[in-house]
Amino acid sequence: MRITLSLLCLLAMASFVSADWRQFRGDDTTGSSSSCQLPDNWTADGENVAWKVELPGRGPSSPIVVDGKVIVTTADGADLEQLHILCYSAADGKKLWQRNFWATGRTFCHPQTTPAAPSPVSDGKNVYAFFGSSDLVCLDLDGNLKWYRGLGYEHPKAGNDVGMASSPIVIDDTIVVQIENQGDSFAAGINAENGQTRWFLPRAEKANWASPIALKAVNSGDESVALLQSSDGVTAVSSKSGVVLWELGGGASTISTSLTTGEQAFVVSKGLTVLDLKDPRVKPEIVWEANKLNPSSMSPILHDGKVYTINGTGVLNCGNAETGDLEWGLRLKGKFWATPVIAGQKLIAINYDGLAMIVDLSGKKGEIVEEIEMGENVQATPALGDDAMYIKGERHLWKIANKQ
Protein backbone atom coordinates (compact mmCIF):
# COMPACT_ATOMS: atom_id res chain seq x y z
CA MET A 1 0.00 0.00 0.00
CA ARG A 2 2.81 2.33 0.99
CA ILE A 3 4.61 1.56 -2.29
CA THR A 4 1.49 2.35 -4.27
CA LEU A 5 1.08 5.67 -2.45
CA SER A 6 4.70 6.55 -3.06
CA LEU A 7 4.35 5.71 -6.72
CA LEU A 8 1.22 7.82 -6.96
CA CYS A 9 3.05 10.70 -5.29
CA LEU A 10 5.94 10.36 -7.70
CA LEU A 11 3.59 10.25 -10.65
CA ALA A 12 1.76 13.29 -9.36
CA MET A 13 5.04 15.13 -8.93
CA ALA A 14 6.21 14.09 -12.37
CA SER A 15 3.08 15.49 -13.91
CA PHE A 16 4.00 18.92 -12.51
CA VAL A 17 7.61 18.82 -13.64
CA SER A 18 7.94 21.29 -16.44
CA ALA A 19 10.32 21.11 -19.34
CA ASP A 20 13.47 23.07 -18.68
CA TRP A 21 15.55 24.93 -21.24
CA ARG A 22 18.49 25.78 -19.05
CA GLN A 23 20.90 27.32 -21.50
CA PHE A 24 21.37 28.74 -24.98
CA ARG A 25 19.79 26.18 -27.40
CA GLY A 26 18.39 24.11 -24.55
CA ASP A 27 19.69 21.57 -22.06
CA ASP A 28 21.25 19.40 -24.76
CA THR A 29 22.40 22.35 -26.95
CA THR A 30 20.64 20.89 -30.00
CA GLY A 31 18.13 23.75 -30.18
CA SER A 32 15.25 21.36 -30.71
CA SER A 33 12.43 19.68 -28.86
CA SER A 34 10.50 16.91 -30.59
CA SER A 35 7.75 16.90 -27.99
CA CYS A 36 7.08 20.65 -28.02
CA GLN A 37 3.90 21.48 -29.94
CA LEU A 38 3.48 25.11 -30.89
CA PRO A 39 0.50 26.85 -32.48
CA ASP A 40 0.51 27.03 -36.25
CA ASN A 41 0.35 30.79 -36.14
CA TRP A 42 0.34 33.73 -33.75
CA THR A 43 0.40 37.51 -33.78
CA ALA A 44 2.66 39.81 -31.79
CA ASP A 45 -0.22 41.30 -29.83
CA GLY A 46 -2.95 38.74 -29.55
CA GLU A 47 -3.49 35.39 -31.17
CA ASN A 48 -1.79 32.59 -29.27
CA VAL A 49 0.16 35.02 -27.12
CA ALA A 50 -0.18 33.53 -23.65
CA TRP A 51 1.46 36.64 -22.21
CA LYS A 52 3.71 39.49 -23.19
CA VAL A 53 5.75 41.67 -20.85
CA GLU A 54 7.83 44.79 -21.37
CA LEU A 55 11.49 44.44 -20.44
CA PRO A 56 13.59 47.04 -18.65
CA GLY A 57 16.71 47.44 -20.75
CA ARG A 58 17.71 45.25 -23.64
CA GLY A 59 20.25 42.67 -24.76
CA PRO A 60 20.62 39.79 -27.23
CA SER A 61 20.91 37.14 -24.48
CA SER A 62 18.49 34.24 -24.77
CA PRO A 63 15.82 33.43 -22.21
CA ILE A 64 16.11 30.24 -20.20
CA VAL A 65 13.37 28.21 -18.51
CA VAL A 66 13.94 26.55 -15.14
CA ASP A 67 11.32 24.97 -12.93
CA GLY A 68 8.45 26.96 -14.37
CA LYS A 69 10.40 30.22 -14.33
CA VAL A 70 11.57 32.21 -17.33
CA ILE A 71 14.80 34.04 -16.66
CA VAL A 72 16.25 36.78 -18.86
CA THR A 73 19.02 39.34 -18.62
CA THR A 74 19.09 42.92 -19.91
CA ALA A 75 21.21 46.03 -19.48
CA ASP A 76 20.50 49.73 -19.52
CA GLY A 77 21.68 53.01 -18.00
CA ALA A 78 23.75 55.88 -19.35
CA ASP A 79 26.72 53.63 -20.10
CA LEU A 80 24.79 50.35 -20.07
CA GLU A 81 26.23 49.84 -16.62
CA GLN A 82 22.96 48.67 -15.06
CA LEU A 83 22.73 44.89 -15.31
CA HIS A 84 19.35 43.27 -14.76
CA ILE A 85 18.30 39.69 -14.13
CA LEU A 86 14.55 39.14 -14.35
CA CYS A 87 12.44 36.15 -13.48
CA TYR A 88 8.87 35.63 -14.73
CA SER A 89 6.35 32.94 -14.01
CA ALA A 90 6.12 30.73 -17.10
CA ALA A 91 2.45 30.17 -16.29
CA ASP A 92 1.20 33.74 -16.34
CA GLY A 93 4.13 36.08 -17.03
CA LYS A 94 4.01 37.60 -13.55
CA LYS A 95 7.36 39.10 -12.61
CA LEU A 96 8.57 37.05 -9.68
CA TRP A 97 11.73 39.01 -9.00
CA GLN A 98 14.25 41.38 -10.50
CA ARG A 99 17.81 41.90 -9.33
CA ASN A 100 20.01 44.76 -10.44
CA PHE A 101 23.76 45.16 -10.33
CA TRP A 102 26.40 47.57 -11.56
CA ALA A 103 28.81 46.41 -14.22
CA THR A 104 32.32 46.39 -12.83
CA GLY A 105 34.08 45.86 -16.16
CA ARG A 106 33.96 47.49 -19.59
CA THR A 107 30.47 48.02 -21.01
CA PHE A 108 31.32 49.57 -24.36
CA CYS A 109 29.75 47.82 -27.30
CA HIS A 110 28.23 48.24 -30.74
CA PRO A 111 24.85 50.04 -30.64
CA GLN A 112 23.10 46.83 -31.74
CA THR A 113 24.14 45.00 -28.59
CA THR A 114 24.56 45.53 -24.83
CA PRO A 115 26.50 43.80 -22.04
CA ALA A 116 23.47 41.49 -21.74
CA ALA A 117 24.58 39.46 -24.75
CA PRO A 118 25.74 36.22 -23.07
CA SER A 119 22.84 33.95 -22.18
CA PRO A 120 22.35 32.89 -18.56
CA VAL A 121 22.66 29.22 -17.60
CA SER A 122 21.20 27.13 -14.79
CA ASP A 123 21.97 23.83 -13.14
CA GLY A 124 18.41 23.59 -11.84
CA LYS A 125 19.36 25.00 -8.42
CA ASN A 126 20.86 28.35 -9.29
CA VAL A 127 21.04 30.70 -12.22
CA TYR A 128 24.44 31.95 -13.38
CA ALA A 129 24.12 35.20 -15.28
CA PHE A 130 27.16 36.40 -17.16
CA PHE A 131 27.51 39.78 -18.84
CA GLY A 132 29.77 41.26 -21.52
CA SER A 133 31.35 43.36 -18.78
CA SER A 134 32.68 40.04 -17.41
CA ASP A 135 30.44 40.24 -14.36
CA LEU A 136 29.21 36.82 -13.21
CA VAL A 137 26.26 36.55 -10.82
CA CYS A 138 24.92 33.51 -9.01
CA LEU A 139 21.34 33.70 -7.72
CA ASP A 140 19.09 30.98 -6.45
CA LEU A 141 15.79 30.49 -8.24
CA ASP A 142 14.08 32.80 -5.74
CA GLY A 143 16.41 35.66 -6.62
CA ASN A 144 18.63 35.42 -3.56
CA LEU A 145 22.22 36.35 -4.34
CA LYS A 146 24.67 33.58 -3.59
CA TRP A 147 27.78 35.28 -4.94
CA TYR A 148 28.97 37.93 -7.36
CA ARG A 149 32.21 37.90 -9.27
CA GLY A 150 33.64 40.95 -11.03
CA LEU A 151 35.99 39.29 -13.49
CA GLY A 152 36.06 42.55 -15.45
CA TYR A 153 37.04 44.44 -12.31
CA GLU A 154 39.84 41.98 -11.68
CA HIS A 155 40.96 42.21 -15.30
CA PRO A 156 40.25 45.82 -16.34
CA LYS A 157 41.48 45.32 -19.90
CA ALA A 158 39.13 42.42 -20.48
CA GLY A 159 36.70 43.81 -22.97
CA ASN A 160 35.88 43.84 -26.60
CA ASP A 161 34.38 47.22 -27.42
CA VAL A 162 32.25 45.65 -30.16
CA GLY A 163 30.63 43.76 -27.28
CA MET A 164 31.41 40.41 -25.69
CA ALA A 165 28.83 37.65 -26.09
CA SER A 166 30.24 34.29 -25.03
CA SER A 167 27.72 32.43 -22.86
CA PRO A 168 28.93 30.44 -19.85
CA ILE A 169 28.24 26.76 -19.28
CA VAL A 170 27.94 24.83 -16.04
CA ILE A 171 29.48 21.37 -15.71
CA ASP A 172 29.93 19.43 -12.50
CA ASP A 173 29.59 22.47 -10.24
CA THR A 174 31.98 24.52 -12.34
CA ILE A 175 31.01 27.54 -14.39
CA VAL A 176 33.19 27.84 -17.49
CA VAL A 177 33.57 31.30 -19.00
CA GLN A 178 35.51 32.43 -22.06
CA ILE A 179 36.66 36.05 -21.98
CA GLU A 180 38.70 36.50 -25.13
CA ASN A 181 39.64 39.86 -26.59
CA GLN A 182 42.61 42.06 -27.40
CA GLY A 183 43.23 42.91 -23.75
CA ASP A 184 43.15 40.51 -20.80
CA SER A 185 42.17 37.27 -22.48
CA PHE A 186 41.40 34.07 -20.62
CA ALA A 187 39.05 31.20 -19.91
CA ALA A 188 38.24 30.28 -16.32
CA GLY A 189 36.49 27.64 -14.29
CA ILE A 190 34.55 29.12 -11.38
CA ASN A 191 33.39 27.13 -8.37
CA ALA A 192 29.59 27.16 -8.54
CA GLU A 193 29.30 26.95 -4.75
CA ASN A 194 31.17 30.10 -3.85
CA GLY A 195 32.36 31.91 -6.96
CA GLN A 196 36.05 31.23 -6.45
CA THR A 197 38.36 30.39 -9.31
CA ARG A 198 39.10 26.70 -9.79
CA TRP A 199 41.32 27.32 -12.80
CA PHE A 200 42.53 30.09 -15.04
CA LEU A 201 43.74 29.57 -18.59
CA PRO A 202 45.36 32.45 -20.53
CA ARG A 203 44.05 32.62 -24.09
CA ALA A 204 45.17 34.31 -27.31
CA GLU A 205 44.60 38.08 -27.27
CA LYS A 206 42.09 38.01 -30.12
CA ALA A 207 38.41 38.90 -30.21
CA ASN A 208 36.12 35.88 -29.84
CA TRP A 209 32.36 35.75 -29.26
CA ALA A 210 31.85 31.97 -29.37
CA SER A 211 30.71 30.06 -26.29
CA PRO A 212 32.23 26.95 -24.72
CA ILE A 213 30.28 23.70 -24.81
CA ALA A 214 30.22 20.75 -22.40
CA LEU A 215 31.41 17.34 -23.58
CA LYS A 216 29.90 14.66 -21.42
CA ALA A 217 32.03 12.29 -19.37
CA VAL A 218 32.13 8.68 -20.56
CA ASN A 219 31.85 7.05 -17.16
CA SER A 220 30.56 8.28 -13.89
CA GLY A 221 33.47 9.73 -11.97
CA ASP A 222 35.44 10.70 -15.05
CA GLU A 223 36.42 14.31 -15.32
CA SER A 224 34.05 16.26 -17.53
CA VAL A 225 35.39 18.21 -20.45
CA ALA A 226 34.72 21.73 -21.71
CA LEU A 227 35.42 22.51 -25.33
CA LEU A 228 36.72 26.02 -25.95
CA GLN A 229 36.45 27.39 -29.46
CA SER A 230 38.42 30.22 -31.08
CA SER A 231 39.96 31.31 -34.36
CA ASP A 232 42.85 28.94 -33.63
CA GLY A 233 40.61 25.85 -33.42
CA VAL A 234 39.23 23.99 -30.42
CA THR A 235 40.77 23.21 -27.05
CA ALA A 236 39.41 20.55 -24.71
CA VAL A 237 40.01 21.23 -21.03
CA SER A 238 39.08 19.40 -17.87
CA SER A 239 36.16 21.35 -16.45
CA LYS A 240 37.36 20.79 -12.89
CA SER A 241 41.09 21.49 -13.30
CA GLY A 242 41.41 23.44 -16.54
CA VAL A 243 44.12 21.05 -17.72
CA VAL A 244 44.33 21.06 -21.51
CA LEU A 245 43.48 17.54 -22.67
CA TRP A 246 43.75 17.98 -26.42
CA GLU A 247 43.68 20.59 -29.12
CA LEU A 248 42.58 20.60 -32.73
CA GLY A 249 43.91 23.38 -34.95
CA GLY A 250 42.62 24.50 -38.28
CA GLY A 251 40.60 27.42 -36.98
CA ALA A 252 37.00 27.68 -35.84
CA SER A 253 34.30 30.30 -35.85
CA THR A 254 34.66 33.20 -33.44
CA ILE A 255 30.91 33.88 -33.46
CA SER A 256 28.71 30.82 -33.82
CA THR A 257 28.90 28.09 -31.21
CA SER A 258 29.37 24.35 -31.71
CA LEU A 259 27.05 21.69 -30.32
CA THR A 260 27.45 18.19 -29.01
CA THR A 261 25.33 15.08 -28.71
CA GLY A 262 27.70 13.49 -26.23
CA GLU A 263 28.86 11.04 -28.85
CA GLN A 264 29.77 13.61 -31.44
CA ALA A 265 30.67 17.29 -31.52
CA PHE A 266 29.47 19.46 -34.40
CA VAL A 267 32.22 22.05 -34.45
CA VAL A 268 31.90 25.27 -36.43
CA SER A 269 35.17 24.89 -38.27
CA LYS A 270 35.77 24.72 -42.03
CA GLY A 271 32.04 25.06 -42.36
CA LEU A 272 30.97 22.31 -40.05
CA THR A 273 33.28 19.58 -38.76
CA VAL A 274 31.98 16.58 -36.86
CA LEU A 275 34.22 14.93 -34.28
CA ASP A 276 33.77 11.42 -32.93
CA LEU A 277 33.80 11.65 -29.13
CA LYS A 278 34.47 8.06 -28.11
CA ASP A 279 36.21 9.48 -25.07
CA PRO A 280 36.06 13.27 -24.80
CA ARG A 281 39.37 13.25 -22.92
CA VAL A 282 41.17 11.92 -25.98
CA LYS A 283 41.81 13.78 -29.23
CA PRO A 284 38.98 12.67 -31.51
CA GLU A 285 38.82 11.58 -35.13
CA ILE A 286 37.11 13.75 -37.71
CA VAL A 287 33.94 12.08 -39.02
CA TRP A 288 33.16 14.56 -41.75
CA GLU A 289 33.68 18.16 -42.83
CA ALA A 290 31.09 20.13 -44.81
CA ASN A 291 32.00 23.58 -46.01
CA LYS A 292 28.50 24.07 -47.40
CA LEU A 293 27.04 23.88 -43.90
CA ASN A 294 28.88 26.98 -42.68
CA PRO A 295 26.54 28.64 -40.18
CA SER A 296 27.94 32.19 -40.43
CA SER A 297 26.84 34.11 -37.30
CA MET A 298 24.08 31.76 -36.14
CA SER A 299 24.81 28.48 -34.43
CA PRO A 300 23.97 25.04 -35.80
CA ILE A 301 21.04 23.04 -34.49
CA LEU A 302 20.31 19.36 -34.67
CA HIS A 303 17.04 17.53 -35.03
CA ASP A 304 15.95 14.07 -36.06
CA GLY A 305 19.17 13.12 -37.83
CA LYS A 306 19.53 16.45 -39.62
CA VAL A 307 21.73 19.43 -38.90
CA TYR A 308 20.50 22.91 -39.76
CA THR A 309 22.48 26.10 -40.32
CA ILE A 310 21.80 29.55 -41.77
CA ASN A 311 24.58 30.90 -43.94
CA GLY A 312 25.71 34.51 -44.39
CA THR A 313 23.23 35.14 -47.19
CA GLY A 314 20.26 33.93 -45.17
CA VAL A 315 19.90 30.47 -46.69
CA LEU A 316 18.69 27.80 -44.30
CA ASN A 317 20.67 24.65 -45.09
CA CYS A 318 19.71 21.16 -44.03
CA GLY A 319 22.46 18.54 -43.90
CA ASN A 320 22.49 14.85 -43.14
CA ALA A 321 23.95 14.62 -39.63
CA GLU A 322 25.58 11.25 -40.38
CA THR A 323 27.33 12.20 -43.60
CA GLY A 324 27.37 16.00 -43.81
CA ASP A 325 25.70 15.85 -47.21
CA LEU A 326 23.67 18.93 -48.02
CA GLU A 327 20.06 17.82 -48.53
CA TRP A 328 18.30 21.08 -49.25
CA GLY A 329 18.54 24.82 -48.93
CA LEU A 330 15.79 27.37 -48.41
CA ARG A 331 16.23 31.11 -48.74
CA LEU A 332 14.91 32.98 -45.74
CA LYS A 333 14.32 36.71 -45.50
CA GLY A 334 16.55 39.31 -43.85
CA LYS A 335 19.61 39.23 -41.65
CA PHE A 336 19.88 36.93 -38.66
CA TRP A 337 21.46 36.98 -35.23
CA ALA A 338 19.08 34.62 -33.43
CA THR A 339 19.68 30.92 -33.96
CA PRO A 340 16.46 29.11 -34.96
CA VAL A 341 14.75 26.50 -32.81
CA ILE A 342 12.80 23.41 -33.81
CA ALA A 343 9.58 22.39 -32.06
CA GLY A 344 8.04 19.15 -33.31
CA GLN A 345 8.33 19.46 -37.09
CA LYS A 346 8.45 23.26 -37.15
CA LEU A 347 11.61 25.31 -37.42
CA ILE A 348 11.18 28.88 -36.24
CA ALA A 349 13.71 31.35 -37.62
CA ILE A 350 13.40 34.97 -36.51
CA ASN A 351 15.40 37.60 -38.35
CA TYR A 352 16.88 40.78 -36.91
CA ASP A 353 13.91 42.85 -38.06
CA GLY A 354 11.63 40.61 -36.04
CA LEU A 355 10.08 38.59 -38.85
CA ALA A 356 9.42 35.07 -37.58
CA MET A 357 9.34 32.44 -40.30
CA ILE A 358 7.83 29.05 -39.56
CA VAL A 359 9.42 26.39 -41.70
CA ASP A 360 7.60 23.08 -42.06
CA LEU A 361 10.16 20.27 -41.93
CA SER A 362 7.76 17.40 -42.49
CA GLY A 363 8.26 17.22 -46.26
CA LYS A 364 11.28 16.39 -48.38
CA LYS A 365 12.32 20.01 -48.33
CA GLY A 366 11.63 22.76 -45.84
CA GLU A 367 8.84 25.16 -46.67
CA ILE A 368 7.96 28.51 -45.14
CA VAL A 369 4.36 28.15 -44.05
CA GLU A 370 3.90 31.29 -41.95
CA GLU A 371 5.51 34.68 -41.56
CA ILE A 372 4.80 36.67 -38.42
CA GLU A 373 5.92 40.23 -37.67
CA MET A 374 6.97 40.59 -34.05
CA GLY A 375 7.18 44.37 -34.42
CA GLU A 376 10.64 44.86 -32.99
CA ASN A 377 14.22 43.70 -33.47
CA VAL A 378 14.99 40.18 -32.31
CA GLN A 379 18.53 38.98 -31.64
CA ALA A 380 17.89 36.42 -28.92
CA THR A 381 17.49 32.75 -29.67
CA PRO A 382 14.06 31.66 -28.38
CA ALA A 383 13.58 29.13 -25.61
CA LEU A 384 11.15 26.21 -25.74
CA GLY A 385 9.08 24.94 -22.83
CA ASP A 386 5.95 22.89 -22.31
CA ASP A 387 4.26 23.42 -25.69
CA ALA A 388 5.40 26.99 -25.52
CA MET A 389 8.06 29.24 -26.98
CA TYR A 390 9.57 32.27 -25.28
CA ILE A 391 10.67 35.01 -27.66
CA LYS A 392 12.79 37.85 -26.36
CA GLY A 393 12.73 40.95 -28.51
CA GLU A 394 14.47 44.24 -28.02
CA ARG A 395 11.78 45.47 -25.64
CA HIS A 396 9.46 42.57 -24.87
CA LEU A 397 9.29 38.96 -23.83
CA TRP A 398 6.51 36.81 -25.27
CA LYS A 399 5.15 33.43 -24.40
CA ILE A 400 3.69 31.86 -27.51
CA ALA A 401 1.38 28.92 -26.84
CA ASN A 402 -1.98 27.56 -27.84
CA LYS A 403 -4.72 29.03 -25.71
CA GLN A 404 -5.94 26.44 -23.22
Q: Which is nearer to other proteins, 110 or 331 (CB)?
A: 110
Taking the C-alpha atoms of residue 181 and residue 161, their distance in angstroms, rounded to an integer, is: 9
List the one residue from 52, 99, 216, 292 that touches other proteins (CB under 8 A): 99
Q: At residue 275, what are phi and psi to the nearest 5 degrees?
A: -110, 140
Number of Cβ within 10 Å of residue 111's Cβ equals 6
Least distance to other proteins, CB of residue 228, Å? 21
Least distance to other proteins, CB of residue 330, Å? 30
List the one residue from 27, 123, 161, 223 that touches other proteins (CB under 8 A): 161
Q: Does 157 bind other proteins (CB under 8 A)?
A: yes
Q: Does 149 bind other proteins (CB under 8 A)?
A: yes
Q: Does 141 bind other proteins (CB under 8 A)?
A: no
Q: 299-322 in b/e burial notation, b at 16+ Cβ within 10 A?
A: bbbbbeebbbbbbeebebbbbebe
The contacts found for 364-367 with CB under 8 angstroms, 24 or more apart, are 364/328, 365/318, 365/327, 365/328, 365/330, 366/316, 366/318, 366/328, 366/330, 367/330
Of 23-82, binders to other proteins (CB under 8 A) are 77-78
Taking the C-alpha atoms of residue 28 and residue 348, their distance in angstroms, rounded to an integer, is: 18
Q: Does 183 bind other proteins (CB under 8 A)?
A: yes
List the one residue from 18, 37, 147, 368 that touches other proteins (CB under 8 A): 147
Strand blocks (E) in 90-162: 95-102, 121-122, 126-130, 135-140, 145-150
Q: Does 100 bind other proteins (CB under 8 A)?
A: yes
Kindly state the greatest CA–CA separation across the chain.
Answer: 66
Least distance to other proteins, CB of residue 69, Å? 15
Q: Which is nearer to other proteins, 137 or 201 (CB)?
A: 137
Name the segment binding other proteins (CB under 8 A); options: 4-12, 192-200, 244-252, 257-265: 192-200
Least distance to other proteins, CB of residue 44, Å? 28
Least distance to other proteins, CB of residue 222, Å? 27
List the one residue from 27, 123, 154, 223 that touches other proteins (CB under 8 A): 154
Q: What is the DSSP string of 196-265?
A: -EEEEEE--SS---PPPEEEPPSSTTSPPEEEEEETTEEEEEETTT--EEEEE-S---SSS--EE-SSEE
Taking the C-alpha atoms of residue 150 and residue 195, their distance in angstroms, rounded to an integer, is: 10
Q: Which amino acid is at 202?
A: P
Least distance to other proteins, CB of residue 196, Å? 5
List the one residue from 196, 291, 362, 402 that touches other proteins (CB under 8 A): 196
Cα 45 from chain centre: 26
Least distance to other proteins, CB of residue 83, Å? 9
Name the segment binding other proteins (CB under 8 A); options: 64-72, 131-139, 254-262, 274-282: 131-139
Q: Does 182 bind other proteins (CB under 8 A)?
A: yes
Q: How many residues bind other proteins (CB under 8 A)?
A: 39
Taking the C-alpha atoms of residue 340 and residue 259, their distance in angstroms, rounded to an integer, is: 14
List the one residue from 160, 235, 258, 379 that touches other proteins (CB under 8 A): 160
Q: Which residues bind other proteins (CB under 8 A)?
A: 77-78, 97-102, 104, 108-110, 135, 137, 139, 143-150, 153-154, 157, 160-162, 181-183, 193-197, 205, 207
